Amino acid sequence: MSRPTRRQVLHGSAAALAGAALAAPVAFADTAAAHPADGHGQAAGDEPSGGHEMPMPFDEMYQGRHIEGWPADEEGGQNGGHHSSGSHAEHRAGQAGPHDGMDFVVRIDNNDLHVMRNADGSWISLVNHYETFTTPRALARAAVRELQGADLVPVVTG
Amino acid sequence: MAVRKNQADLTATEKRNFVDAVLELKRSGRYDEFISTHNAFIIGDTDDGERTGHRSPSFLPWHRRFLLQFEQALQSITPSVMLPYWDWTADRTPSSSLWADDFLGGDGRSGDGRVTSGPFAFGSGKWPMNIRVDGRTFLRRSLGTGVRELPTRAEVDRVLAMSVYDAAPWNSSSDGFRNNIEGWRGPNLHNRVHVWVGGQMTTGASPNDPVFWLHHCFIDKLWADWQRMHPKSGYLPTGDTPDVVDLHDTMKPWNDVTPADMLDHTKFYTYV
């Protein structure tokens, strides 16, 4: 499966509008508490993931927590300083193949939140594993609400 | 014959024996091994990769085997204990006897969601959260908050009427009975109940809440009901499907049991 270019993502406007409408009640909840950490994070991060387009990176404060996300295989970029090793360590050892290039790193206060993309393009996280979200950003915000201030811890899978 | 009962019909002694056996498994460390196993499969099962415990045809036989193993562990403590099931179409409010202090304990308190009553409350000291996704060490619930309503009997009947077990691409986007009961499609049965309970039940470490077993026992019963309604409909797929457990493939983590071995629950228990 080939990964779409950023331009393709940005031009997926029909899917973007539909996705944004669905995501709105979750993604824009408590916007008063959301302070974009930089100029481009707020708008870009709301690009929905409908179909198989890779969502855009995001980086913001939400309810007092620093949430950020970016495609796992993106080199350099805004988060070039810390790579996704922590997130991949939670996967089965050495997993690559079909997911390569399809994973998205999400962090809350610098701790990895394990996320997964569903076949229909929606997303789930380890914190909310039985409900789907339109974007990793909506998923991160839902996790912040669920955590109620608690820190994520490294996942133990025995 | 071993009989699995509706939790609403358990005697006080049956409830106490079940709770005591669960607490003993926790004390000995065996309970947490079940949580770890479930969490590992939740993370490892992916729609376009290998998938065994969830979002795949083997969701039902995998959990049937998982529950059998847990039930056998309980019976190593108290031989008469059987898993009860929670029919959430009938017992659908926080005032159900399921959530009483002599059984699973109640809803979480407002603010932090902490369960403060019953045998699994943090204050009892007997129910630590050792396998967890965040720093909180107490059992949490938020009944009816993440989603307002549990599935109705009519919604269950609509899914039971689906005559095809599962369909390509054998994942969370499939049509058929399995994906509709799992909840990624249709009225959303199994997934929605996890969300309705809230707390650890919404996470990959959902067996931290003992209600996990009663919920999945009812899902298992619904599979048995479906088989009786559709005697000509078998498990699918039956062979040569990459990343998916076919009828005669062995399932991880046991590697010695296939979906075919799990189809007839009456070898192990019956339902009333």
- Residue B106: partners with Cβ closer than 8 Å, 6 or more residues away: B94, B99, B100, B115, B116, B117, B118, B141
pLDDT at A156: 65
Q: Is residue A64 part of a domain?
A: yes
- Residue from the list B113, B135, B173 with its beta carbon closest to the beta carbon of A119: B173
Concatenated DSSP letters of B66-135: HHHHHHHHHHHH-TT----B--TTTS-STTSGGGSTTTT--PBPTTT-BB-SSTTSGGGSS----S-SBS
Residues A116, B144, B38, A66, CA torsion sign: positive
The count of structural domains within chain A is 1
Chain B nearest-CA residue for A112: B133
Does residue A21 surpass a pLDDT of 70? no
Domain of residue A68 covers 55-72+101-148
Q: How far apart are CA B65 and CA B261, in angstroms?
A: 9
pLDDT at A64: 98
Mean pLDDT along residues A13-24: 35
Radius of gyration in angstroms for the set of CA atoms belonging to chain A, rounded to a whole number: 15
Q: Are the Cβ atoms of A148 and B113 closer than 8 angstroms?
A: yes
Q: Is A126 an interface residue toward B (CB < 8 Å)?
A: yes
Q: Are the Cβ atoms of B36 and A158 closer than 8 angstroms?
A: yes
- Residue from the list A131, A150, A157 with its beta carbon closest to the beta carbon of B135: A150
At residue A51 the predicted structure's pLDDT band, cuts being 50, 70 and 90, is low
pLDDT at A119: 95
Does residue A49 surpass a pLDDT of 50? no
- Sketch the domain layout of chain B as residue ranges: 3-271
Q: How far apart are CA A52 and CA A4, in angstroms?
A: 8
Q: Is residue A107 part of a domain?
A: yes
Radius of gyration in angstroms for the set of CA atoms belonging to chain B, rounded to a whole number: 18
pTM: 0.84
Higher pLDDT, A1 or B80: B80
Here the tokens at position B205 are 């470490």
Q: Is residue A113 part of a domain?
A: yes
Q: Is B47 an interface residue toward A (CB < 8 Å)?
A: yes
Helix (H) or strand (E) holding A62: strand A58-62
Q: Are the Cβ atoms of B169 and A119 closer than 8 angstroms?
A: yes
Among A117, A120, A129, A153, most B C-beta atoms within 10 A, so best to mutate, is A129
Here the tokens at position B254 are 């046991």
Does residue A13 surpass a pLDDT of 70? no
Identity at B92, one-letter amino acid code: R
Q: Is residue A142 part of a domain?
A: yes
At residue A76 the predicted structure's pLDDT band, cuts being 50, 70 and 90, is very low
Residue A104: name the closest of A80, A92, A88, A89 by CA.
A88
Per-residue model confidence as pLDDT tens digits over A133-154: 999 999 999 999 999 999 999 8
Q: Is residue A48 part of a domain?
A: no
Query: Are the beta carbons of B85 and B42 closer than 8 angstroms?
Result: no
pLDDT at A127: 97
CATH T-level assignment (fold) for domain B3-271? di-copper center containing domain from catechol oxidase (1.10.1280)
Q: Kindly report the CATH number assigned to the domain that includes residue A116.
A: 3.30.1880.10
pLDDT at A155: 76
Residues B224, B208, B151, B90, CA torsion sign: positive
Among A92, A114, A115, A130, most B C-beta atoms within 10 A, so best to mutate, is A130
Q: Is residue A37 part of a domain?
A: no
Q: Is residue A67 part of a domain?
A: yes
Q: How far apart are CA A110 and CA A106, in angstroms?
A: 9
Lowest mean pLDDT among A21-30, A108-117, B174-183, B199-208: A21-30
pLDDT at A77: 40
pLDDT at A14: 35
What are the mean pLDDT values of chain B's consecutive 10-residue runs (272 residues total)?
A: 94 98 98 96 95 98 98 98 98 98 97 97 95 96 97 98 98 98 98 98 97 98 98 97 98 98 98 96
The ipTM estimated for the assembled molecules is 0.94
